[in-house]
Structure 1
Amino acid sequence: MRYFLKPLFVFLFTFVAITAQGQLFKNNIRQYKVQLAGKSADLIDGGGVISADSMNTTFKDKGYGPVTVNLESMKKKKLQPGEIYNHVSEATVIVSSAGRCGEVNDRGTECKRIHTYPASGYVIDSEGIIVTNYHVVNGYVTKYNKISRDVLVVMLKDGTTFPVTEILSADKSNDLAIIKIDPKGVKLPALRVATKDAEIGDPVYIVSHPKGYFYTFSSGMVTDKFSEINAGQYRNLMAISADYAAGSSGAAIIDQFGNVIGTVSYTKTLLHSDDDAKTQMVLKATIPSSCLLKLIKEGN
């Protein structure tokens, strides 16, 4: 019996050790930041990418028609938070401008390193259709971007990187952009977009890249629904309590079933009226899924 128990113990210990590993600790710099720069350099050197100057000639605030997207029906089975993270993270991407600035310093040395400015986005069609913010794409094409104008890239969770080939739609007022990559025949994991807006009190989840902490998971609830004027138009917004920061722009807001109910847009710091140095609250505003569906189906 003793000899039987020993191998059994070894087997159980090994099984528990492997199971306990679960999710590994990632290296945000080496695993994503360094790879993002290196693979962007490969795309730039390989040619055939769309520069900011070229993309700027077709990018506009509005005036786009409907977009052909293969949207799957909403999921109705409630998921555990860990299941939501595993599902959503696979369809969450890094969207970044990249380029060599070519600036020459006081010693006459030219800067040849690749500059990147990672933000977030998410796949809605396995053929390579991705949602992000208008201001993310505009940050690439704008004249104020002086140092990363060679290519707009999309990096998947596994590090595979593609150049953006087309801007399918954009809406400045609602801060949305729909972009296209060519995944070379690979079917990408895609998220389902909710056809019904969330209500105040509903739980929400986000997978995004705040300040270079790639694929960070946070949760909260819908705290408010309000409208405001932006770019000369009224728009509807959904405030949430889940945390996000710079780098999270364009990330999907997810319900408890794994459906997209919104898109990260901006944060606003609310200060004490008697003391501007005192932060009382941070408002986190997101664009509800109904705005995205309208842009897809009707254009603007």
Structure 2
Amino acid sequence: MKNIIKSLFVLVILTSFLAQGQRFKNNILQYKVKLSTKAEKLIDSGNVVSADEMAATFKDDGYGPLDVNFAKIKNKKLTPAQIYASVSEGTVIVSSAGRCGEVNEQGVECKRIHTYPASGYIIDSEGIIVTNYHVANGYVTKYNKTSRDVLVVMLKDGTIFPVKEILSADKSNDLAILKIDPKGVKLPSLPVVKKDAEIGDPVFIVSHPKQYYYTFSSGMVTDKFSEINAGKYRNLMAISADFAAGSSGAAIIDQFGNVMGTVTYTKTLQHSDDDSKTQMVLKATIPASSLLKLIKEGN
């Protein structure tokens, strides 16, 4: 009888533990507050590259090839839960941060830290990060008046790094490759496939839509098409997995946990007779082949 009671007690404890395997996160305390407070410490340390300094070397194109140590491609099919657990560790928050210094009507200077979080992912464990061109450009552009002190990358565990350099950028394909110094720590990088996905292939995304950090969505490739952007043709994949503002630069993941693309934009498709009626949202992504070409050949 004692053994039965003991076994039941262990079972209850184990069941309770398993039920709490995925805890409910606090987006404000775990990420929003940490992002601003840690960015403030970086700014105060002075060990940052300001928007003005970074703008001096930032270009729409004209970058050479890069030496990237890619992670090994994965070939074992994963469950969605396994994909999330694996990919979320290699997914980062990319954000500009700074004090705007504006003075209000009462003569009080704004000293709070302004942040504008987007998404990105690690492709080299020594600190090479992929995000969108428009995310990097959002930091260096003269239209950014409030967050020009530092561009940061924050990991899922809250560790934060200042971006030291923009290694490459491609306005047409909306890609930017950033460099951070992880100070000897090997970061969890995501492998990148060499073959483009096909229509109907399943896709997954871990991103930060509207500051709902590390949100998971799934769907499939719904279309493959080309268009002109910044005066050049580019290839795009449309997908059905959800993403939104804040997801910019997130990785599109296959069923094995490999990167197959990068988020770029959404486009609302409305009824031709009534602009107020939304019929569909086109969700466009950049295929991995465009990223690999930028890395291997430059632009």
Q: Which TM-score tier does this pair reach, normalised by the shorter chain?
A: over 0.9
Q: Deviations over 1:12-60 (max 9, x none)?
A: 1111100111110000001000000000000000002000011000000
Assess if the C-alpha contact under 8 Å between 1:100 and 1:147 holds in 2: yes
SS at match of 2:178: strand
1:3 is displaced (CA, Å) by: 2.2
The RMSD of aligned alpha carbons is 0.6
Number of equivalent positions: 299
The match for 1:165 is 164
The match for 2:4 is 5
The match for 1:227 is 226
The match for 1:80 is 79
Distance (whole Å) between structure 2 residues aligned to residue 71 and residue 45 of structure 1: 34
Q: Deviations over 1:258-293 (max 9, x none)?
A: 110000000000010000000000000000000000
Query: Where does structure 1 differ by over 3 angstroms across 4 or more consecutive aligned residues?
Result: none
Distance (whole Å) between structure 2 residues aligned to residue 173 and residue 182 of structure 1: 28
1:5 is displaced (CA, Å) by: 1.9
Distance (whole Å) between structure 2 residues aligned to residue 99 and residue 229 of structure 1: 34
The match for 2:19 is 20
Distance (whole Å) between structure 2 residues aligned to residue 72 and residue 27 of structure 1: 31
Distance (whole Å) between structure 2 residues aligned to residue 6 and residue 292 of structure 1: 59
Distance (whole Å) between structure 2 residues aligned to residue 4 and residue 73 of structure 1: 48
1:92 is displaced (CA, Å) by: 0.1
SS at match of 2:70: coil
1:67 is displaced (CA, Å) by: 0.7
Distance (whole Å) between structure 2 residues aligned to residue 5 and residue 211 of structure 1: 50
Assess if the C-alpha contact under 8 Å between 1:139 and 1:145 holds in 2: yes
Q: Deviations over 1:206-233 (max 9, x none)?
A: 0000000000000000000000000000
The match for 2:187 is 188
The match for 1:264 is 263
Alignment-mate amino acid for residue 110 of structure 2:
C
SS at match of 1:193: coil
The match for 2:38 is 39
Assess if the C-alpha contact under 8 Å between 1:119 and 1:249 holds in 2: yes
Distance (whole Å) between structure 1 residues aligned to residue 13 and residue 255 of structure 2: 34
Alignment-mate amino acid for residue 143 of structure 1:
K
Alignment-mate amino acid for residue 299 of structure 1:
G
Alignment-mate amino acid for residue 183 of structure 2:
K
The match for 2:214 is 215
Match runs of 1:132-151 below 5 Å:
132-151=131-150
Distance (whole Å) between structure 2 residues aligned to residue 12 and residue 231 of structure 1: 61
SS at match of 1:192: coil
Q: TM-score, normalised by structure 2?
A: 0.99
Distance (whole Å) between structure 2 residues aligned to residue 13 and residue 50 of structure 1: 53
Q: TM-score, normalised by structure 1?
A: 0.99
Distance (whole Å) between structure 2 residues aligned to residue 254 and residue 96 of structure 1: 22
SS at match of 2:243: coil
Alignment-mate amino acid for residue 109 of structure 1:
V
1:73 is displaced (CA, Å) by: 3.3
Q: Does 1:179 align with 2:172?
A: no
Q: Does 1:30 align with 2:56?
A: no
Question: Please, which runs of 5 or more residues in structure 2 have no aligned partner?
Answer: none
The match for 1:108 is 107
Alignment-mate amino acid for residue 121 of structure 2:
Y
Q: Does 1:205 align with 2:204?
A: yes
Question: Please, which runs of 5 or more residues in structure 1 have no aligned partner?
Answer: none
The match for 2:236 is 237
